[in-house]
Amino acid sequence: MLGVLWVGAGLFGAAVGCWRSEQQALITAIKLPLILSLTAAGNSVLNAALAPLLGLNLGFRQTTLAILASLAMAAILLGSLSPLLGFLVWNLPAMEGGTSRGFAHALLLLSTVAAIAAAGLAANLRLFRFLVFASGSRSVAVRILFAWLTVNLLLGTQLTWIARPFFGSPHLPVQWLRADAFSGNFLEATAYSVRRVLNP
């Protein structure tokens, strides 16, 4: 499952990063699957502790495999979306495109977030079916899924924010991590990009 996760998310990361350069594409192809892997590892113990408290006696190994399977499915979907994102990148104004590059940057950011959200939604619907099957109760499955998603979302989005850039800001150099990696948060950046797209 880890191999599938790394290939699918890596393809998507490469498509995202290629707007900036080949170097950024390679960096992002490594970062994105790394974030998914760290999110799974970081939440494994907590998710295993939450499941019995919420009505389903899943062990650490079962919980970890369920989360990994869900993330691997999301990565497969992201990999399948990489040609579409690559097509968008191909048609966006270049990084050096002057005044239009701010709009292009914001549009690429929102498109990336939308693709990841769609893949995550589909993967979690599949995870929900597993939880219903394992628990025999939709209400238990809903409680567990909501708790797991909350924990995964909090860790995953903040890891994503810390690991930026993925395609780089037009005025900053290509880099693995920014010097201000721990300042601000994911939600602030997304709200700013929405404003940029709606008011170009």
Place of tokens 């939604």: 121
109: how many CB neighbours lie within 10 A of its CB? 21
Closest CA to 35 of 10, 60, 17, 18: 10
Tell me the pTM.
0.81
Decide if 195 contacts 187 (C-beta within 8 A).
no
**57: its two tokens:** 């006696």
From first to last of its 200 residues, what are the pLDDT tens digits of the chain?
889 999 999 999 999 988 888 888 999 999 999 999 998 888 888 888 888 888 888 888 999 999 999 999 999 999 999 999 999 988 887 766 555 667 787 888 889 989 998 999 999 999 999 999 999 999 999 999 999 998 888 888 888 888 887 876 666 778 888 887 777 777 787 788 788 778 76
Closest CA to 138 of 40, 21, 56: 56
